[in-house]
A = this chain, B = another copy of it.
Amino acid sequence: MPGPLSIEDLAKAVDRATGKALGARIIGDASRTIASVAPLEVAQADALSFLANPRYRRFAAATRAGALVLSEADRHALFASGSTTCVLIVCEAAYTWFAFAAQALAPQDEVQPGCAPSAVVHPSARIDRSATIGPLVVIDEGGSIAAGVQIGAGCYVGRDVRILEATRLHPAVRIYDGCRVGARCLVHSGAVIGADGFGFAPFQGRWVKIPQTGAVLIGDDVEIGAGTTIDRGAMGDTVIEDGVKIDNQVQIGHNCRIGAYSAIAGCVGIAGSATIGRRCQLGGASMIQGHITIADDTIISGATAVTHDVREAGFYTGIYPFMRNREWERNAVLLRHLDELRERIRRLETQLRTRQTESDR
């Protein structure tokens, strides 16, 4: 059913999906047919493209896309004269409109429900007949696979794992015993859910393992990227709430709680027992220390280490600016001696005050 659509039908599809919340205005021939989405630079007459990042304005001005979603401000800046062959779809939430349109145009994989003959499924596992179990999948004792679930080649689903309806595991996802994945989730290859948290107590110069007896509970509509690892709780559970989006190679320690609708970019590390609020955004390669709490609606820049609680929503950053190596060498040395610089300023201030006093006499 998805595939080429007129711009008019595309707009209707977006309206249906959004409850008409976006309110786009179409300038040009709405009967033109759109077959796919494409970047500004390469889009042809049957493609939809979008402009959201001002960096790409010059590509938008020159695009040969059949239709272009953009904000009123961008339309005014680029096409005020009206001289474009491109149908303009003017919408303040241009990127969001584009997202829904792209979903309407996206080809859907055809899946054949059933269990590949090479899958190894424990007889006690309950698998809905509308689920698809790929080749060389292992489903262990007591596993429960709901309607419409797709399990890609080579996945491992541990003992008593529950996977709710319409969730898709790409090939080679591993889920340890006792974990739960909600409905309509998407999990990418190499993700590991439920490995042991890193818990050891010191004893006579060596480490004693704390058995990790909790699980991982993942809500609905969660996306988990390739190679991401989410550890099981030490005692209680690690919890990923509904609608959280997690990119690749993210590490989430035991007993963390990630609030609903938060987004976590690639290479982020979150140490154990951290609590991330709802609707937070953690930039790529940021690092969250253990046992801390981050307020709802907080945004953390990429490459920032969060070492204590964030009590108030806001936009936080801690990045050493990069520069020519020679310049860095000079500055880094001074950085080690900031306290000496301050001391010299103090002495200067004292000297000046003394003189002032002397000359006032």
- 16 pairs, A vs B, C-beta closer than 8 Å: A49-B235, A93-B202, A99-B201, A140-B153, A198-B245, A206-B261, A247-B251, A267-B267, A304-B320, A306-B322, A316-B322, A318-B321, A323-B336, A331-B336, A338-B341, A341-B341
Tell me if A266 is interfacial: C-beta within 8 Å of chain B.
yes
User: Which of chain A's residues 76-109 have a Cβ closer than 8 Å to chain B?
Assistant: 93, 95-96, 98-100, 102-103, 105-107
Tell me if A170 is interfacial: C-beta within 8 Å of chain B.
yes
The CA of A140 and the CA of B226, in the complex, are separated in Å by 19
Among residues of B, the one whose C-beta sits closest to the C-beta of A17 is B208
Q: Return chain B residues, CB-CB under 8 Å to A41.
A: 236
Tell me if A31 is interfacial: C-beta within 8 Å of chain B.
no
The CA of A317 and the CA of B328, in the complex, are separated in Å by 6
| With A200-B99, A213-B106, A320-B319: A339-B332 Cβ-Cβ less than 8 Å | no
Q: Is the CB of A210 within 8 A of B102?
A: yes
| Interface membership of chain A positions 142-153, coded 1 if the CB is closer than 8 angstroms to chain B and 0 otherwise | 000000000011
Q: Return chain B residues, CB-CB under 8 Å to A269.
A: 249, 266-267, 284-285
User: Which of chain A's residues 99-155 have a Cβ closer than 8 Å to chain B?
Assistant: 99-100, 102-103, 105-107, 116, 118, 120, 134-136, 138, 140, 152-154
Q: Is the CB of A336 within 8 A of B321?
A: yes
Q: Return chain B residues, CB-CB under 8 Å to A336.
A: 321, 323, 327, 331
Q: Return chain B residues, CB-CB under 8 Å to A344.
A: 345, 349
| With A172-B156, A318-B323: A265-B198 Cβ-Cβ less than 8 Å | yes
**Most B Cβ at <10 Å: residue of A38, A42, A342:** A342
The CA of A189 and the CA of B249, in the complex, are separated in Å by 14
Q: Is the CB of A39 within 8 A of B236?
A: yes
Tell me if A28 is interfacial: C-beta within 8 Å of chain B.
no
Q: Is the CB of A345 within 8 A of B335?
A: no
| With A331-B336, A335-B338: A302-B289 Cβ-Cβ less than 8 Å | yes
A346, chain B: closest CB distance, angstroms: 9
Tell me if A72 is interfacial: C-beta within 8 Å of chain B.
no
| With A195-B248, A305-B302, A339-B331: A210-B320 Cβ-Cβ less than 8 Å | no
| With A174-B190, A285-B287: A207-B267 Cβ-Cβ less than 8 Å | no
**Which 4 residue pairs across A and B have the least CB separation, nearest first?**
A318-B322, A303-B305, A99-B201, A195-B226
Q: Return chain B residues, CB-CB under 8 Å to A226.
A: 174, 192, 195, 229, 231
Among residues of B, the one whose C-beta sits closest to the C-beta of A344 is B345
Q: Is the CB of B261 within 8 A of A205?
A: yes
A248, chain B: closest CB distance, angstroms: 4
